[in-house]
Chains A and B, each alone.
Chain A
Amino acid sequence: MIERCLGEALSAGGDYADLYFESVAATSLGVDESLIKSASQGVSAGCGIRVLSGERTGYAYTDDLSAEPLLRAARTAALIASGPAKQPVMDLTGGLKDTGRPQLYPAPAVELDPDLSAKLALVMRADRAARAYDPRITEVRASYHDEVRRILVAASDGTYESDTQPLARLNVFVLAKDDGKTARGTSGGGGRVEIDFFHDEKTPEYFAAEASRQALLQLNAVAAPAGEMEVVLGPGWPGVLLHEAVGHGLEADFNRKGTSAFAGLIGQKVASSKVTVVDNGTLPSRRGSLHVDDEGAATQDTMLIENGVLKGYMTDKLSARLMKMPHTGNGRRESYQQIPMPRMTNTYMLAGEDEPEDIIRSVKRGLYAVNFGGGSVDITSGKFVFSASEAYLIEDGRITAPVRDATLIGNGPEALKYVSMVGHDLALDEGVGTCGKQGQSVPVGVGMPTIKLDRMTVGGTGK
């Protein structure tokens, strides 16, 4: 049947066709006002059929996996090309092979788990821990979400791969009230892990304490400063800087079309020589990790910027072929209803040699930002923002008052040239990142050691 569909997909003269079968089973639980107010489960399944003809893409999908709807979707996608069939479908009768790849995460069954007591216990524990943290914590919401996604990719070039991808995440949101003031704190984490992770590695109590700590801190925050200044970013989640400043700009589709601020800059200096950035889909258990991408290609550890010099882009099959560049296994999609495109996996800066304390000490007047809400970027102009949710003033080399939420803005191809110090304390984020591009969301990871930027604009309201 798969070969018949691929044959039908190429019947109008396409160069390449693939079928992407996907089934997802997801569970969400939420505690709110100490009550389990939301409990939901969902399943979805479908197949997306893609045909490439030169630079053109034809796409159709169906949630009915019987023969006739699949063939109809194949014929719809085929219409992108116009001509007689010219491409034979490679023999797929060998079936799935043992690739010998290391296993990065477990492969649970794709079915809804009827016993939710262990998952319920997680959110209830988070609720209790946050309320016990401090009497000023007045409102707590905790949620647990997990899914198991199983994919099968079969393509006319002989690709035939399947993967089972677990993903779990625990989130805590709290409000602190004191003396007429209210502040929020959020925390969360997870990855391609099973429930044991929340017992053995990052417990509900850990996330509850972290969210509560942030909220209490914000009760006494002062206005963030406004203007250009020295900025120190802490390790871990502040790596969202890399995701926005350089990550998106190095996705191959934008560079193939010449619409990225990084187009044509390979081999050129785009950061200080202390900066080395990779995109690595092969880290065990990480939120952005994958055995194979959504085109069935193995993910890899890809050098993006080495000692400040731009080395390469993240590619999918289409861009690698059209740009004659190495294929890096970065073709991802949100679901079977979407066309794959180059996306990040886990993007991070390698550790340097500076002591984090020395980095803080070197700043006369600046901002030390350790937690962020998120960010975004205009790929073409290169301007990017990311919003600090926990940050402090640095005065005469010392961390002083916490400041209120503020957005930082910079220019992608320039910002990393001002990186003057890089700590030895590389950390990856807790596992909460979701990246949106052209309406498609995919889970990603980021990471960074403590770094110092000599210049960046901080969007506060104060002096």
Chain B
Amino acid sequence: MGGEGVEQAAVVPSPAAGRSRSTGPTGRPAREARAPVRRILTAYLFLLPALVLLVVFTFYPVVFGTALSLFDYDVITPPRYVGTAHFRELWSDRYFWVALRNSLTYLAVVPVLQLCSIVLALWVRRPLRGIAWFRAAYYLPVVTSIVVVGLLWRWLYDESGVVNYVLLRLAIIHTPVHWLTNPSIALYSVMLVTLWKGVGYYMVIYLAGLAAIPPEYEEAAALDGAGPVARLFQVTIPLLRPSVLLASTISAISALRVFEEVYVMTGGGPIFSTYTLFYYMFDQAFNALHLGYAAAVGVVLAAITIVLSAINFRLLRQGGLSYY
């Protein structure tokens, strides 16, 4: 914008100028069309650090990482083109199918997590005294490191840990449960931790969604004689749909990509019962150095994510306020 300061100064700012974006005072279309070279250069210099980093660490690795699934690569020798061989290999790979099944099973956490978060958000939006402290308490697990959470729950879940103690005392169980060492329940035990850690996060998203609904809608329904239950199910929840779409999509993507909880708590075991697709990709890439094969696993995971997000979007796109 170097030399235009003087010209701009001559223009009297219009009352609406504060709302305009970067066009400045109105009525200079001819100048806008041909920005001076210096001005373009300045703009790009401002953008340079971000653009370089984004290209190097986001665009390049995703695009070429996808292409890498068609190559054999072990970092040391140059990549060798193998076509779709990796995908055919995956088809007959036992570990891949086990990992895929576990990752898809993990999606079961999504509806439970969303339901709990919606109920919690409806509950803590009441103007009770001290409600901010309760919200903070529910949010605490969200800001805590996954490693601390994982170690903590590994101890709590131990055969002689607190969870078994409490359940034995309440006579809900009669012998200690092997939460993380029994292959048929370990995956669900990890899911419970994802639920515990995530509920506060989605609660905040739903609270924001609820705050965006104008109170007139519920008031009008009340005037029409709708009771609290009818208002909730026929007014509030349908209007909350955009938030449900957003939250359930985020939640489904992270459930499919689950890794850190599993890595800290079970290491994928016992006998691969908590081994997930992301875990398989991690192992193939950074332990076995089969980078091309790992990329193929990553591409399959990405494809499932995209399909699932599309389905989710179709199911939930209606509803909400029109200007959302």
Instruction: Tell whether A pairs with B.
Output: no
Q: Name A's B-contacting residues (CB within 8 A).
A: none
Q: Name B's A-contacting residues (CB within 8 A).
A: none
